[in-house]
Structure 1
Amino acid sequence: MKIRLSRMARVAACLSPLVLHVAAHAQSTGSALTDTVVTANRTEQPLSDLLSDVSIVDRETIARSGAVGVADVLARLPGIEVARNGGPGNTTSVFLRGAESRFTAVYLDGVRIDSQSTGGVQWEQIPLAQIDRIEVLRGPAAAVYGSDAIGGVIQLFTRKGEAGFHPYVGIGGGTHGTGRLEAGASGTAGVDNAFDYSLGVAREISNGFNAREVATQNPDKDGYRSTSANARLGFRIDARNRLDATFLANDLESQYDNSRRLNDKSNHTLRTAGLTYTGQWTDFWKATVQATASRSVYETQPSVYRTETELHNYLFQNEFRFGEHLFTAALERREDNLQNTPIDRDRSQNGIALGYALKHGAHTLQLHGRHDDDSEFGGKNTGSAAYGYAINSNWRATASVGTAFRAPTLYQRFSEYGLGSLRPETSRNVEAALHWSQGASSASVTVYRNKVDNLISFGAAGGCGSTFGCYRNTAHAQYEGVTFAGAHKLGAFALRGSLDLQDPKDEDTGRQLARRAKQHAVLGADTRFAGVDVGAEMQASAHRWDNAANTTRLGGYTLFNLYASTRIARDYSLVARIDNLADKFYQTANTYATAGRVLYVGVKWAPQ
């Protein structure tokens, strides 16, 4: 992997030994990781058994972040970069290990979200106020999830009801006329607390800032308005059987600049719903039956444009445990519909997935294979194999290989720019990692290379109905890199950090892929002083190119953030955050402004 070190790279290179040094000197405690994740294999799995590169963001981290959008939280994790066309309500891209934004499969409470117009989820549509937990899987996972998971999988979860009754009301405000009001309740009811529930509503507003400070664009402020709600209900039928239902809604209106005189606005609608039955049918057989649906709408005015994607998913998953052995078998059906005048098209995918996992002494093995039958393209096979070896109680080595694919969107095939002959984009990934842990301290280094063929790009006219240009399978991409990550408790301070050195490039031209840096890093420290939890954070990124030709340069940047939270009374807590403390000017998309220094203060009432 050839990566030339710029000034940013030299700064980042200094961080990598610090990240490892932070964890290498943690020898004081011996507790093991006990948290579990479901994203890696679609089954509950202890963190200590993972063979995948996974990050978890919990409720407390989200609460103290003071962030406005989900993407802002993700940007502080290893391997993730974010680009945005202006403020929080505008078009947002999330690059996982440098992969295209459409190459990440996204689920909300198990409900798949996608756009058959742009490809991938529209991140600005997801209301952070309703999110309680985030799991991020880096690396291909199509052998488990089917189409789209070339770069990885991100699962978002709303709050689940816990024993008792837990109401809350929160209010906050900040720079750019930003305001947030939220309320909700969660708890349990019935005999033996068999029924659990969580309900939440939120309203967020912002006057915003001028998203495009160029002479050809409207100089007005570009704000947003968001109204969201969610419900999560569960019923334990008996000790072995359970029903869960989820619902989420968000309506977002945001302003953007597309002309000098018009007040351009976009309206987003997101709806998700899911019903899941889980049954422990025998001592060794667990089954899950799930039906989900999502609807994503994007429309603009006064220039009229509207696109709507509906997605239905049906899953029957089985787990068979025999001692050290776990066998999985799943049947899945996905149905997509795109309405984008004059397009009104459907497609479906039927999949069968098989898996095997073994944990025997120091050895861990996981194998997955899947066959998907697409109504447009026919059959597609994907597979993955991962192996882990526990060198001793602290050190562990892992390695994996996997293939993945993403079918072209209905818009890429049937719009005026589309070609019906487009083929699925495919990938082959290899990676290896070394992990160290001691109590609450940890360190890891992960090396990966992901090669994508049949990459769909927008090229010259010819073959489609447009004289402007057409979508084509003309490109090949390679995403390779190394990620360092670490965490350590040093006295009263909890330290964490990550450094990514990567080379996302177009293999045909040798150029760097647009809006992705070759180096980016995050470093943070938290402590408690006089009853107040305080923290500081640095986010750094090297320069990027805004276009595929690598002629428009976006400068590198370093941001410093401060945050604090404390309990100001028995049932009241206060959170405050300053992002971009030095008021650094930077861009993640050419001609689009960023917020500058931002202050947010919030108060929450939640009875203890």
Structure 2
Amino acid sequence: MNKKIHSLALLVNLGIYGVAQAQEPTDTPVSHDDTIVVTAAEQNLQAPGVSTITADEIRKNPVARDVSEIIRTMPGVNLTGNSTSGQRGNNRQIDIRGMGPENTLILIDGKPVSSRNSVRQGWRGERDTRGDTSWVPPEMIERIEVLRGPAAARYGNGAAGGVVNIITKKGSGEWHGSWDAYFNAPEHKEEGATKRTNFSLTGPLGDEFSFRLYGNLDKTQADAWDINQGHQSARAGTYATTLPAGREGVINKDINGVVR
């Protein structure tokens, strides 16, 4: 009886060993496929409600007085004045999406500009905000971001219509200076001419900081007192012989210094 058990055990062990031997890997050739590299270019899309004006665009389209003249070319942006009749006048207030100038926030390097708050409101609740867009000479601007709708919501009160963020150029490790002059003579002899000049100076202050000084001076002559004679409407009483005013004369001086 014991011999039969030992024979059976030996037979089982031989069977397991045989299976183990059969499962050992064999030497087979391995093929290496060629490497496939896939590349894709990122599509550069502007966020909805955001428009950007680059320094190259400003250079190709020089402005006469301030950058509001090129900002008005963006979708949803208009320059409102003291009248809606189409007459000549002070069209200097940036209005985004028709929400009014009081709901348009002007920023320079992300910081609010509040010079318009020092201007008394007119009888229509408007202010002349030309100072908000004339602080920086056009040649010192790197880009202008115009935000409309939900894109401007994070700026809160005063930005219900939109935001204009003027980004200035950064200082470099070398000293640079520039001086520019601009003169605009209108075709209509009764319109006032515009003269503008500005300067900039940038350079390093040690290894960690840079210095930048820039300023501008612009002067616009007043229009002739009867330039809007063709817009005279039928009126009676005290104001029967008066005419809508043209553009007033303006002298603007700005000097700014930044250490970064």
Normalising by structure 1, report the TM-score.
Answer: 0.28
Residue 235 of structure 2 is matched in structure 1 by none
Query: Which structure has more strand as a fraction of its residues?
Result: 1
Q: 1:153: Cα distance to partner?
A: 1.5
Q: Would you say 1:135 and 2:145 are equivalent positions? A: yes
Taking the TM superposition and a 5 Å limit, the aligned residue runs for 1:493-508 are none
Q: Distance in 1 between matches of 2:76 and 2:220?
A: 29
Give the secondary-structure state (helix, strand or coil) at the position aligned to 2:218: strand
Counterpart of 2:220 in structure 1 is: 206
Q: Is the 8 A contact 2:88 2:228 kept in 1?
A: no
Shift, 1:205, TM fit:
1.6
Given residue 137 of structure 2, which amino acid in structure 1 is its aligned partner?
A: Q
* Partners of 2:217 and 2:254 within 8 A in 1: yes
Query: Which residue in the other structure is 2:162 paired with?
Result: 152
**Secondary structure in 1 matching 2:157:** coil
Which of 188, 192, 197 is the aligned partner of 1:181? 197
Alignment of 1:401-440 (within 5 A): none
Residue matched to 1:54: 50
Q: Name the residue aligned to 1:111.
A: 111
Between structures 1 and 2, the one with greater helix share: 2
Report the secondary structure of 1:209's partner residue. coil
Aligned residue pairs, count = 188
Contact 1:161 1:198 in 2 (8 A): yes
Instruction: List per-residue Cα deviations over 1:131-160 (Å, max 9, x = no partner).
Output: 513111110456522212212221123332
Give distance in 1, aligned partners of 2:210 and 2:41: 31
Question: Does 2:102 match 1:102?
Answer: yes
Separation in structure 1 between the aligned mates of residue 152 and residue 50 of structure 2, nearest angstrom: 16
Q: Deviations over 1:217-245 (max 9, x none)?
A: 498983221111112220xxxxxxxxxxx
Q: In structure 2, the residue corresponding to 1:216 is in which secondary structure?
A: coil
Q: Which residue of 1 aligns with 2:92?
A: 92
Q: Pairwise mapping of residues 165-564 of structure 1 onto structure 2 (< 5 A)?
A: 165-175=175-185, 176-191=192-207, 194-210=208-224, 213-214=228-229, 215-217=241-243, 222-234=248-260
Match of 1:78 among 67, 75, 79: 75
2:96 counterpart letter in structure 1: L
Residues 79-88 or 174-183, more deviating: 79-88
Q: How much does 1:97 deviate?
A: 2.2
Query: Which structure exhibits the higher relative contact order, with contacts defined as CA atoms closer than 8 Å and separated by 6 or more residues?
Result: 2
Counterpart amino acid of residue 226 in structure 1: N
Identity of aligned residues (%): 23
Is 2:131 the partner of 1:125? Answer: yes
- Write the letter of the residue equivalent to 1:182: N
Query: CA shift at 1:169, angstroms?
Result: 1.0
Inter-CA distance 32–187: structure 2 relative to 1 (3 Å threshold): farther
Larger radius of gyration: 2
- Determine helix, strand or coil for the equivalent of 1:52: coil
Corresponding position: 1:63 with 2:73: no
Cα distance in structure 2, aligned partners of 1:180 and 1:202: 7
Q: Measure how far apart 1:123 and its partner are.
A: 2.8
Q: Report the residue type matching 1:75 in the other structure.
A: R
- CA 1:58/1:232 → structure 2, altered by over 3 Å: closer, same or farther? farther
Q: Rate the CA distance shift 1:110–1:120 in 2: closer, same or farther, 3 A.
A: farther
Seen in structure 2, the aligned counterparts of structure 1 residues 94 and 218 have a Cα distance that, compared at 3 Å, is closer
Unaligned stretches of 5+ residues in structure 2 = 1-39, 186-191, 230-240
SS at match of 1:105: strand
CA drift of 1:201 comes to 1.7
TM-score (norm 2): 0.60
Q: CA RMSD in A?
A: 3.2
Q: How far apart, CA to CA, are the structure 1 residues paired with 2:245 and 2:158?
A: 38
- Segments of 5+ residues of structure 1 without an aligned counterpart are 1-29, 34-46, 235-608
Distance 1:82 1:69 in 2: 12
Match of 1:125, as an amino acid? Answer: G
